[in-house]
Amino acid sequence: MQLQQGDETAFRKLVDTWQDMVYNTVAGIVQNADDADDLTQEVFIQVYQSVSSFKGESKFSTWLYRIAVTKSLDHLKRKKRKKRFAFVQSLFGGSSEEVIHPADYDHPGVLTENKEKAAALFKALQQLPDNQRIAFTLHKLEAQKHQDIAEVMNLSVPAVESLIARAKSNLRKILENYYVQNIAQEL
């Protein structure tokens, strides 16, 4: 593989081919456009630095998805730690800066007329456990097959199917509550 030999043209072609997929995957998980931009760059930096370790035991896309998902989860964990640390500091009179997370996120693939529904969905997705959110995001937003998701997440296909089913069930409950509250407010 030319990329493994450090060919810059091959790397540029790789970025051109895969950057939308990586960005959309990361954006679907972190739900912040600026963070998604930064993480997409980090993913490709890691790919460039570690492509020599890619052995071809799985598809390249699976390896790339795995890096994107891992980077996204690591970012969310760091963000949660920062938020907790800021909260603890505020309790002890430290920095009063609040960590701000945007309430609404506009995914680039959502049509304008569906923005409100998408915002409700993305808000609900944030309430799911990481594994459910990732399986659901890869399946529904990235149109990945269960087998491919299983490879990315290092799980069995039945485990992925179970995660997606639980995610759907949990989302249904969360969104049902959301819509019931909104209808009650409109009346």
| pLDDT above 90: residue 75 | yes
- Give the domains, in start order, of the chain with CATH numbers: 1-102 (1.10.1740.10), 105-187 (1.10.10.10)
DSSP 97-113: PPPP--S----TTS-GG
Is the pLDDT higher at 22 or at 124?
A: 22
Q: Taking the chain, what is the end-to-end CA distance rounded to the nearest angstrom?
A: 62
Q: Is the pTM of this model over 0.85?
A: no
Asked which of 8-17, 87-96, 113-122, 130-139 is least confident by mean pLDDT, the reply is 87-96
Burial (CB < 10 A; 0-12, 13-18, 19+), residue 16, is exposed
Say which range, 78-87, 141-150, 151-160, 172-181, has the weakest mean pLDDT.
78-87
Euclidean distance between CA atoms 16 and 23, whole angstroms: 12
For residue 56, pLDDT over 50 is answered with yes
Higher pLDDT, 133 or 94: 133
Residue 107: Cβ within 10 Å count: 18
Sign of the C-alpha dihedral computed for residues 50, 52, 58 and 64 taken in this order: positive
Please state, in angstroms and rounded to a whole number, the distance separating the CA atoms of residues 14 and 88.
43
Q: Residue 150: what residue type?
A: A
Predicted confidence (pLDDT) at residue 110 exceeds the cutoff of 60: no
Residue 137 CB burial class (10 angstroms; 0-12, 13-18, ≥19): buried
Q: What is the pLDDT of residue 99?
A: 40
- The answer to whether the beta carbons of residues 23 and 37 sit under 8 Å apart is yes
Confidence check: pLDDT of 132 > 90: yes
Query: Would you call 59 helix, strand, or coil by DSSP?
Result: coil
138 residue type, one letter: L
Q: Answer whether residue 107 shows pLDDT above 60.
A: no
- Look at residue 109 in the predicted model and tell me its pLDDT: 52
Q: Range with the lowest mean pLDDT among 2-6, 52-56, 69-73, 127-131?
A: 2-6
